[in-house]
Amino acid sequence: MGLDSVELVLAIEEEFGIEIADVDAGQIFTVGQMYDYLRHKLRSTPPAHCIRQRMF
């Protein structure tokens, strides 16, 4: 995993308030895989704040 990939994972973690395990990040190679991972991860993680706050 290159530096750009690491920076992207860190930015995604910060934006969505989640932690992506190094093992999981090493298995994500496409935008579609990241989308599927985030969809699954966010569905199983209770929101830390009101969803409307994130939208506005």
pTM: 0.70
Using 50, 70 and 90 to split pLDDT, how confident is the model at 2? Answer: confident
28: left (phi over 0), alpha (psi -120 to 50) or beta: beta
User: For the segment 6-51, what is each residue's pLDDT rounded down to a tens digit?
Assistant: 999 999 999 998 999 999 999 999 999 999 999 999 887 666 666 5
Q: Determine the 3-state secondary structure of 54 from DSSP.
A: helix
- The domain segmentation of the chain, as residue ranges, is 3-55
